[in-house]
Amino acid sequence: MKLLEKLPEAEAAKFLHKVVDGLCGYAFPRHQDYNAIWDLTEWMEALEQTASYFRKTVGKDLSDEEAARSLAELNPDIQKAMLACLKGRKPDIRQALIGKTNAICSSQLLNFDWQLKLALSSDKLSMLQMPLLNLDLDLSRDGDLKYISVEMNKEELQALINALEAANKVVLQLK
């Protein structure tokens, strides 16, 4: 984020708003407009760090104090510009993040079935005794039916349960 301090004060707000525009599906700022300030490597780093800051701050719904705290190493003018941009464009960023999340998959779960099995041995181990879960999913995507079967061990199942609980928590927060 220190790279942002190379920006002239008059350019900082313009750059930040262009980064937010890029996050919202419009054009990101172009390197050729800022090549007098940053070389290509610095440019990519500044762009990614700035975009990451906005995504993280809005995605985690950080308070104004927490958002300011993560900018503590920057000079006050850049901090002020970033917080002003964040405050003004927070709804736009949130909407873009929700849209990207929804665009990940348009499939709908129609039905599921599961079976618990106990693997007693394998070709590598004679005494295995490992529980396995077979999960069958019936999905619909734009009217097309798709069947998926997944086999998971205990750790993979726990990771799936944790991910589903986290997704449920996010859905409940959006209501």
pTM exceeds cut of 0.85: no
Residue 74 is classified by DSSP as S
Of the candidates 4, 111, 96, the one whose C-alpha atom is nearest the C-alpha of residue 58 is 96
What's the Cα-to-Cα distance from 14 to each of 8, 53, 72, rounded to whole Å?
10, 16, 21
**Percent of the chain whose predicted confidence (pLDDT) is above 70:** 94
pLDDT of residue 143: 79
Across 10-26, average pLDDT: 93
**Residue recorded with tokens 């510009």:** 81
pLDDT of residue 65: 92
For 37-80, the pLDDT digits (tens) are: 999 999 999 999 999 999 999 999 999 999 999 999 999 999 99
Of the candidates 54, 45, 57, the one whose C-alpha atom is nearest the C-alpha of residue 3 is 45
Tell me which H or E stretch contains 117. strand 108-119
